[in-house]
Amino acid sequence: MPSFVIQKHKATTLHYDFRLEVKGVLKSWVLPKGPSTDPSDKRLAIQTEDHSIEYADFEGVIPEGEYGAGTVIVWDKGIYKNQKDDQTISEGISKGHITFRLEGKKLKGGYSLTFFRKDKNELWILVKTDDEYADARRNPVSTQKESVLTGRTIEEVEEENG
Ligand code: MN
């Protein structure tokens, strides 16, 4: 099964990078507010450059002046499954709509990503499917801040490298 990763990234602004392994690369979206477990939340997802598969495990500090400068932790990681029988994830991304099930440490169950507009970037919306893992009261972005790889917060990684 292909993998997914969410990296918390403290750059010019704090955001979360949501990445899905598709055909040997990580298709990537910036989530300014991070993911939600509440199906009534619509979270903006700005499509950004594909990243290499190896980047999925990156945690640390990217020096100033380099692409993505700032501090990164692996906030969640796992595998995902395409929920559509009649199209691949790659086809779905081209058409602007995918649904998939995540099996991460923090995020589980169905999510959908839907394209809605192009300005400077392609703008999508990430929504939790209303399934057994939907939970409007959970807020893992604020209650589960640690890296799933090392248990460190982004502030701890920043200090260790400061
Ligand atoms: Mn980023």
Span 62-78, pLDDT tens digits: 999 998 899 999 999 99
Rounded distance from Cα 77 to ligand 1 centre (Å): 16
Ligand 1 centroid distance, CA of 136 (Å): 26
| Separation in Å, CA 104 to CA 121, 123, 162 | 27, 24, 30
Could you tell me if 149 and 105 are in contact, meaning their C-beta atoms sit under 8 angstroms apart? no
Long-range contacts of 114-123 (CB under 8 A, 24+ apart): 121/46, 121/47, 121/48, 122/46, 122/47, 123/44, 123/45, 123/46, 123/47
Per-residue pLDDT tens for 146-158? 999 999 999 999 9
| pLDDT mean over 22-37 | 98
Collect residues with CB below 5 Å from ion ligand 1: 9, 17
- Structure tokens belonging to residue 37: 């477990």
Whole-prediction pTM: 0.96
Expressed in angstroms and rounded, the spacing between residue 11 Cα and the centre of ligand 1 is: 7
* Å from CA of 31 to ligand 1 middle: 9
